[in-house]
Amino acid sequence: MPLKVAIVEDRSEIAEELSRIITRAPDMELACVCRNYRSALARIPEAQPDVVIMDINLPDGSGIQATAHIKRVLPKTEVLILTIYEETDEIFKALEAGASGYLLKRSSSEELLAALRNLSKGEVPMTGEIARKVIQFFHKDKPVSASQSLDDPLTLREIEILQMAARGLSAKEIAAQCGIGVQTVNSHLRSIYDKLHVHSRMEAVNKYFG
């Protein structure tokens, strides 16, 4: 099954270029192209894409608000922010709204396609400088220790895995570091989502460590 991708971008030349990139990819299908906030909210729920490429600055609203709405309506749909904004506030507002990845518009077409494919595998793609800001923020996260609170919903192993996910490690990388299988990592992640009542890695990271 091809990966269904929706685009939300107000600038025509960028929207057209993104459309070309998606339609030329043999494993992807263009679900719809929305040029503003209102169109995104109206068309994306019907199109039911696997991934949405979302701009932040739309002429009639915020891409961050659109992300939050889409995640409420389509919780299994991943949202990849594609923007010029590098400010920490914008990054975390987007992640808090439910975005699962954050790329800058200067990213190459190869980087964009790789990010879309990685999102579908449960990974968290980010432009390098964005990832560094996230890592710096989560250096302040909770320590894993034997003194874990009795009312903490997560086990020590789940906290350890969530900390690695916060650093942007893939399921394969987490499995290698923990000495367990990839399926076991994914099972832990599903358990974390269920316990925290979230639908993505970044929602879990923000809710638990935020």
User: Sorting pLDDT into bands at 50, 70 and 90, what band is 180?
Assistant: confident
pTM above the 0.85 mark? no
**CATH number, domain at 69?**
3.40.50.2300
Residue 36 near residue 61, CB atoms below 8 Å: yes
Question: Rounded distance, CA 196 to CA 210, Å?
Answer: 13
For tokens 């269920």, the residue is 194
Quote the pLDDT of residue 166: 81
Domain stop point among 90, 113, 132: 132
Give the range among 4-13, 31-40, 167-176 with minimum mean pLDDT.
Answer: 167-176
Do residues 59 and 8 both lie within one domain? yes
Do residues 114 and 157 both lie within one domain? no
Helix axes 156-166, 171-178, angle to 10 degrees: 130
Quote the pLDDT of residue 78: 93
Residue 108: count of CB within 10 angstroms of its CB: 10
Do residues 10 and 87 both lie within one domain? yes
Quote the pLDDT of residue 139: 56
Q: Which of 119, 63, 123 is nearest to 94 (CA)?
A: 63
Domain stop point among 132, 151, 182: 132
| Portion of the chain with pLDDT greater than 90, in percent | 43
Tally of domains within the chain:
2
Listed in sequence order, the residues at least 6 apart from 135 whose beta carbon sits closer than 8 Å to its beta carbon are 166, 167, 168
Tokens of 83: 């923007």
Do residues 162 and 127 both lie within one domain? no
Do residues 108 and 157 both lie within one domain? no
Task: List, for residues 112-170, the tens digit of each pLDDT value.
Answer: 999 999 888 777 777 776 766 666 665 554 444 444 444 568 887 888 888 888 877 88
Quote the pLDDT of residue 172: 86
Residue 50 near residue 25, CB atoms below 8 Å: no
- The bridge status of strand 57-58 relative to strand 61-62 is antiparallel
Do residues 95 and 124 both lie within one domain? yes
- The stretch 72-80 carries a mean pLDDT of 94
3-state helix, strand, coil in the chain (%, to 5): 55, 15, 30
CA dist list (Å): 147 to 30, 111, 136, 195, 207: 49, 41, 24, 20, 20
**Parent domain of 103:** 3-132
Quote the pLDDT of residue 148: 46
Do residues 85 and 168 both lie within one domain? no
**CATH number, domain at 160?**
1.10.10.10
Beta bridge partners of 28: 3
Do residues 154 and 113 both lie within one domain? no
